[in-house]
Chain A
Amino acid sequence: MLALLVLVPIAVLLLMNLPWRGARSQAYTMGVLALAFAEIFAAIALPALVGVGEIPFLSELRFGLVADDLTRVLLASIGVVVGAAMLVGQESMKDERQRCNFASLLIVSITGMNATVLLSDFFSLYVFIEVTAVASFILIALDRGVLAVEGAFRYLVLSAVATALMLGAVGLMLMSAGDTTFDAVRSGLAGGTSLVRLGLAVFMLGLFIKGGTVPFHAWLPGAYSAAPPAVSVLLSGIVTKASGIYALIRIAWSVYVPDEQISLVLLVVGTVSIIVGAVAAMGQTDLKRMYAYSSISQVGYIVLALGAGTELGVVAATFHLFNHSIFKSLLFVDSAAIESRLGTTDMTRMGGIGGKMPITGTTASIAMLSAAGIPPFAGFWSKLLIIIALWKSAHIGFAVIAVMASMLTLGYFLVMQQKAFFGKPSIEVGAIGEASIGYLVPAIALAAITVLAGVLFPFLLDSSCSFLLLGKALPW
């Protein structure tokens, strides 16, 4: 049953690209949106769906797919972000053929990400992270402009280094644990050979690079800002997360028993990423680059939460991952809207946009407040959970740093608000109006999710925590 999540997208992709007669490009968009909705539905209804039983043909396939609540959170995030990206793409890509290619590559990345969150083997993890990555490289360079191609190539190079590390680690795992599955490595770790630990550590190092943590983040700002607007939504919303960060959470949850050394590495990497990302974001004049550095900072929070080494830490990390997908893609949807009206994302030319584009401005403010951890938005709860997790696991110093960095985040968002959204309208801004409906729909939807998640979370806290705690990699 779970196999459908990876087979259906491929089937849809092949069907869409057969040489049909008649209007094609609308079919592409519809296909992607249908997949996105199906994915969100699947995320919510997964236990019921799996309970239905196995399709005879599918039981022949030995995919080794496993799902738990972590999977469901990721599937929901993937569905939402892909839907938003497609809507933005529908609006922002005028060339029909480019839009069709965009849709096709979106489906490829859906396949890659779905498989990534469902699998239970380290080598397959490499394979599907690469599938997603290849789709990303092409998507970044979709308009074939110089900056975009540059960004894509730099991403490719660093991604290749990460791949080399991950594969080397797989080799070590093969040597010491005998197989590359999560179960094999887990028993290998319990057995106590240091070679397995080394393999796991090297693999995680590769994941740090893929996820854009400091000091391996060099590719991220260039790729995020040079990519076409719809692609930036996809990249920032889910791709770096599903590729690198999810895998770290999965390892923390299903594979290893936290030990002091690995926890320390996670804590340090997380903290450094938070600080560097936040500081660098303040100095940017381009909206998309600022958001890119902010992403680096937020990913730092997720890694920091994992460093706490407790179950609460994993829950906090997962929730923050979900929140970040929502509010970061919202920010990029808004920046796409601004770019469509103003023609630029240069903040120095953006004064007073909030007045001219009220809905865009409001949703962007909601996203920023959520990112800064202000109640009642969702970001507040996930950051609170992270700080509590660190506090309870006796990493007080890191908790303090997390709090202070949160204030730093608030600082730069306020600065940015002032610069771009409020204040006197510049001449260019005076001429524009609100963005078209194609941008507003995803923006409002994403903002609504952030608000709802924030408001409802206290009521869901008990049940959601117990969900995640109980669902320890149950193969349904």
Chain B
Amino acid sequence: MNDYIIDIVILACLVLSAVWAVLSPRLLRAVVGLALASVCVTIVLFRLDSPLAGVFELSVCAGLISAVFISTISLAALETEESVVQTSKERIRRYWFLPPLLLLVGVAVTQLALPDMPVQAITGEGVREVLWNQRHLDLLGQIAVLLAGAFGVVVLFKGFETRVDKGIEIKETTGK
């Protein structure tokens, strides 16, 4: 058990930051919660002998996603004081049973009679071998999806300028 105390702590942090992201009334805090969850996931991945995936997760998710989110929020300038206060009443009504529900599910799962799973030795090839030599189709898929994303950006993001302050209308240039 002592061996695993690290793992349990990290897992707990993961769940807690996820729950915090869900429950917090301020949008920015929710995003921070998501970033924290990403960091926890990275550590979990390292503990599970998957360093490459961990590095990917950290750089791409924690960094890029948070950056995109925060710039979205500031671009659209969504936080106003009154909306925070007002929505928190609705939020309590809608989310109050989530923590107890999660607690219940968590306890139920830990009580499940899962078998002792022997962790098998790391057989099979390393990541680089698999990704570059075997799963070529997935690589092609990544290229295709990135191309799709590029066109998505071209189609969807044309004509936005940054807002100076939330009171000002967004100036648009209709790109032709």
Report which A residues bind B (CB closer than 8 A).
6-7, 10, 13, 61-65, 95, 97, 101, 104-105, 108, 111-112, 115, 119, 121, 123-124, 127-128, 130-131, 134-135, 137-138, 141-142, 144
Contact = CB atoms under 8 A, between A and B. Distances in A.
B138 interface: yes
A105 B144 contact: no
19 contacts: A10-B143, A10-B144, A62-B135, A65-B137, A97-B175, A101-B151, A108-B151, A112-B144, A115-B137, A121-B137, A123-B138, A124-B137, A124-B141, A127-B137, A127-B142, A131-B141, A134-B152, A138-B151, A141-B156
Contacts of B134: 62
Contacts of B141: 115, 124, 127-128, 130-131
Contacts of A62: 133-137
Given A62-B133, A63-B140, A13 B147 contact: yes
A128 B144 contact: yes
A223 to B, nearest CB: 16
Contact of A134 (B133, B145, B154): B145
B144 A111 contact: yes
Contacts of A7: 140
Interface of B: 133-138, 140-145, 147-149, 151-152, 154-156, 175-176
Nearest to B143: A10
B123 to A, nearest CB: 10
Contacts of A108: 144, 147-148, 151
B46 to A, nearest CB: 19
Contacts of B154: 101
Q: Is the interface of A mostly helix, strand, loop or mixed?
A: helix
A144 B133 CA distance: 41
Nearest to A138: B152
A127 B138 contact: yes
Contact of B176 (A97, A111, A123): A97
Contacts, number: 76
Given A105-B148, A115-B144, A131-B148, 13 more contacts: A10-B147, A62-B133, A62-B135, A62-B137, A63-B137, A65-B137, A108-B151, A124-B135, A127-B142, A131-B141, A135-B151, A137-B152, A144-B156
B80 to A, nearest CB: 22
A65 B148 CA distance: 22
Nearest to A102: B155
B169 to A, nearest CB: 17
B137 A64 contact: yes
Contact of A131 (B133, B145, B155): B145
A135 B143 contact: no
A128 B138 CA distance: 8
A95 B174 CA distance: 12
Contacts of A142: 155
Contacts of A115: 137, 140-141, 144
A63 B139 CA distance: 10
Given A108-B144, A108-B147, A134-B149, A101 B138 contact: no
A66 to B, nearest CB: 11
B127 to A, nearest CB: 14
Given A10-B143, A62-B133, A105 B151 contact: yes
Contacts of B145: 127, 130-131, 134
A108 B152 CA distance: 11
A121 B147 CA distance: 22
A111 B143 CA distance: 11
A271 to B, nearest CB: 33
Most chain A CB neighbours (cut-off 10 Å) among B142, B148, B149, B151: B148
